[in-house]
Amino acid sequence: MRTTPLALCALALSVVATSLHAQAVSAPAPIIGILLPTSNATVTSPVTVRFRLVNYGVAPAGMQMAGTGHFHLVIDDEAGAAGTIIPTDSMHVHYGKGQIEVTVPVPLGRHTLRAVLGDYQHKVIRPELVSPPVTIRVVAGR
């Protein structure tokens, strides 16, 4: 069978289209978020926080595996730049066991929560995976 130049051209185009498609499928953009509490929620402490992570993996701290990290809850602070170590205190909480839902004490009043993904060494991953801020109001329980 003879292959015409037009057929070769069509074949080449379909190979390009296939490889572009494969690239798009193999590296979809990761998404990080906080599912709970919802923005502007009024809650009592301790607060249940449920994280969301799409197109990226969760692994315990200390486990070096490409494409994975563990959650940090940052309260009333910005996330650090990529590569910086996330502090450890009551307002920068590490979930190094790979938790995706946690219960955390939060002081009374208005607070802003951010989920930040850190690598196996607790450094903000590159490029940064930081959730949109979620503002909550913590009130005294009955």
Note the residues at the interface with Cu ion (CB under 5 A).
94, 118, 122
Distance of closest approach, residue 38 Cβ to Cu ion, in angstroms: 25
Instruction: State which residue, 30 or 120, has the beta carbon closest to Cu ion.
Output: 120
Residue 22 tokens, joined = 């494969």
CB of 118 to Cu ion, least distance (A): 4
One-letter-per-residue 3-state SS of 3-54: CCHHHHHHHHHHHHHHHHHHHHHHCCCCEEEEEECCCCEEEECCEEEEEEEE
Q: Which CB, 47 or 86, lies closer to Cu ion?
A: 86
Q: Which C-beta is closer to Cu ion: that of 86 or that of 138?
A: 86
- Cβ nearer to Cu ion, comparing 18 with 101: 101
Torsion angles phi and psi, residue 19, rounded to 5: -70, -35
- Distance in Å, CB of 86 to Cu ion, minimum: 6
| Bond from prior residue into 46 cis (ω within 30 degrees of 0) | yes
Shortest gap between Cβ of 5 and Cu ion (angstroms)? 58
